[in-house]
Structure 1
């Protein structure tokens, strides 16, 4: 069992944020588990490939963003993070802006931390 620290998760969250902002598909590929399951605010299930394809095709563009890590809980070899992102961008050409809260489950997989599950919601203004 690999030990996970809050510092490791915070660093992985920062790498993920920078990769999302830059649509860095290679880094996202390393940070997302192959069988990732993520839920959108509407309940739609997203896979790793769906997320990577959104960045490859530029159907999701983050123009401005900042994040704040609200909480990291370690449970054995797994971690849960809660992050708030303030972002402005476009999804499939439609403008999108606001604050979003992400819930992620991190686990050591093949020697590195990867997101194995996630969900997010838009916060009221």
Structure 2
């Protein structure tokens, strides 16, 4: 049985909502979906906070052209869960676009009545072509 938050969303629903917000750099949605206590490890090993993540989307330092999900696993216990999403992504960068396969690992908790990312990491698996 899936745990639903106060809005009736499952962890899987919320992962989809987060990916959509990342594609659009939707700061309002990202702010709602990410815990203030977020600790996130980037592909280079740098530790990011919620504020740093939102700022990267605001300035365009993090900008996705596409995120095409290849697989997703979600596991949960009472009001906690984990997702693993593998996707081919195209990121916009100053030097053009970069295609890469990414794996996101996220830890979720129901906080203030809604699923929020509290920790996670992303790793680049391999470059890929279109």
TM-score, normalised to structure 2, is 0.85
Residue 36 of structure 1 and its aligned partner are, at CA, apart by: 0.1
Q: Mind listing any 5+ residue stretches in structure 1 that lack a counterpart?
A: none
Structure 1, 101-110 or 40-49: larger mean CA deviation: 40-49
- DSSP-derived class of the 2:106 partner: strand
Partner of 2:90: 88
Root-mean-square deviation (CA, aligned residues, Å) is 1.7
Match of 2:115 among 89, 113, 122: 113
5+ long unaligned stretches in structure 2? none
SS across alignment from 1:60? coil
After TM superposition, the runs of 4+ consecutive aligned structure 1 residues lying more than 2 A away are none
Q: In 1, Cα distance between the equivalents of 2:113 and 2:16?
A: 18
Corresponding residue of 2:65: 63
How far the C-alpha of 1:66 sits from its partner, in A, is: 1.3
Deviation at 1:44, TM superposition (A): 0.7
Query: Which digits, 9 at most, give the CA deviation of each residue in 1:47-73, with x for residues without a partner?
Result: 000010011111221112212442111
**Aligned residue for 2:39?**
37
Q: Alignment length, in residue pairs?
A: 121
- The alignment partner of 1:83 has SS state of strand
Q: For the residues of structure 2 that align with 1:106 and 1:35, how far apart are their CA atoms?
A: 12
Which residue of 2 is the match for residue 4 of structure 1? 3
Give matches, 1:17-28, under 5 Å.
Answer: 17-28=19-30
Match of residue 47 from structure 1: 49
| Alignment partner, residue 73 of structure 1 | 75
Q: Is the Cα contact below 8 Å between 1:17 and 1:67 reproduced in 2?
A: no
Could you tell me whether the CA contact under 8 Å between 1:98 and 1:122 is conserved in 2? yes
Give the TM-score, by structure 1 length: 0.88
